[in-house]
A = this chain, B = another copy of it.
Amino acid sequence: MDTSSVLRQLPLFASFGDDALARLASRSIARTYGPGHVLFTTGEPCRGLYVVATGRVRIYRTSPAGREQVLHTEGPGRPVAELPLFDGGPYPASAITEEESRLIFVPRDEFQALYRGNPDVADAIVRELGKRLRHLVHVTETLAFRDVAARLALFLAEFAQQHGRPARGGVEIALDRTREELSFELGTARESVSRALKQLREKGLITTLGRNRILIPDVAKLRTLARPGERPHYE
């Protein structure tokens, strides 16, 4: 797949003519990375924009003690690290490929020229930033209010909605993550994920099929558990 046709699919460049797109493609660098390749780390100065062609990129923060918190993950057609391009600041987080991924890199200068001359691009970028901001509010709220089991239930329910496929007795999902990677997304420890999975299993909300696959009989009911302590509060 060539760079132009990948860029063509992005909402970001929807308004581009073929020649503008070809010019952009010619100045971009497409490269395939193996799994576990660190694209950049927190605090590093920003060199440009990455766009995911295939694969998956995880954006995360690391604690001094070595723990990790995933902020978001981006798949095909999604931009990564557009924020620092605007305010000129450093990357606010680190990024790593979760699997073999093909990425298109647009150098900083090239991209800036682009969006300055192109209000549609600026608009699209603002919308991306907005989406990111909303997601981060969601992450923050989840961390502040819900226990591990509830966070897991919420994650699984959302994952099922996005990537699940109907199966006998409910919706089936393939996690494609180890328990430890899951713990990074939920901001907890590997062992707590195991315990939380057990809890959900015992309540009949999920059935584990091997290590990777999970069957969810009722996604809506799973979501319900994600709102614990839902008692009235008087004041």
Whether B133 pairs with A136 at a CB distance below 8 angstroms is yes
Q: Are A130 and B63 in contact (CB-based, < 8 A)?
A: no
Q: Which residues of B contact A73 (CB under 8 A)?
A: none
CA distance A83 to B129 in the complex (A): 9
Q: How far is the CA of A137 from the CA of B116 in the complex (A)?
A: 26
On whether the beta carbons of A137 and B63 are closer than 8 Å, the reply is no
Q: Chain A interface residue count: which class?
A: 35 or more
> Contacts of A137 on B, CB cut-off 8 Å?
61, 71, 92-93, 136
A140 within 8 A of partner (CB): yes
- Per-residue CB contact flags for chain A residues 39-74 toward chain B (1 = under 8 Å, else 0) read 000000000000000000000010111110101000
Question: Inside 8 A of A136's CB, which chain B residues have their CB?
Answer: 133, 136-137, 140
A11 to chain B, nearest CB (A): 12
Query: Does A230 touch B at the CB level, under 8 Å?
Result: yes
Residues 88-120 of A contacting B (Cβ, < 8 Å)? 89, 92-93, 116, 119
Q: Does A79 contact B (CB under 8 A)?
A: no
| A29 contacts partner chain B, Cβ-Cβ < 8 Å | no
Q: In the docked arrangement, what's the CA distance between A231 and B66, Å?
A: 8
A143 & B145 in contact (Cβ 8 Å cutoff): no
Q: What is the CA–CA distance of A38 and B195 in the complex, to the nearest angstrom? A: 40
Within the assembled complex, what's the spacing in Å between the Cα atoms of A84 and B131?
A: 10
* In the complex, chain B residues whose CB is within 8 Å of the CB of A64: 145, 227, 229-230
List B contacts of A126 (CB < 8 A): 86-87, 122, 125-126, 129
User: A134 in the interface, Cβ–Cβ < 8 Å?
Assistant: yes
Set of chain B residues within 8 Å of A221, measured between Cβ atoms = none
Contact A65 B140 (CB under 8 A): no
- Give A34 to B65 CA distance when docked, in angstroms: 44
**A125 / chain B contacts, CB cutoff of 8 Å:** 126
Chain B, residue nearest A86 (CB): B126
7 A-B residue contacts at CB 8 Å?
Answer: A61-B145, A63-B229, A64-B145, A64-B230, A65-B145, A86-B130, A144-B187
User: Apart from A61-B145, A93-B137, what are 12 other A-B pairs with CB-CB below 8 Å?
Assistant: A63-B145, A63-B229, A64-B229, A65-B229, A67-B144, A69-B141, A69-B144, A69-B145, A71-B137, A83-B130, A119-B119, A125-B126
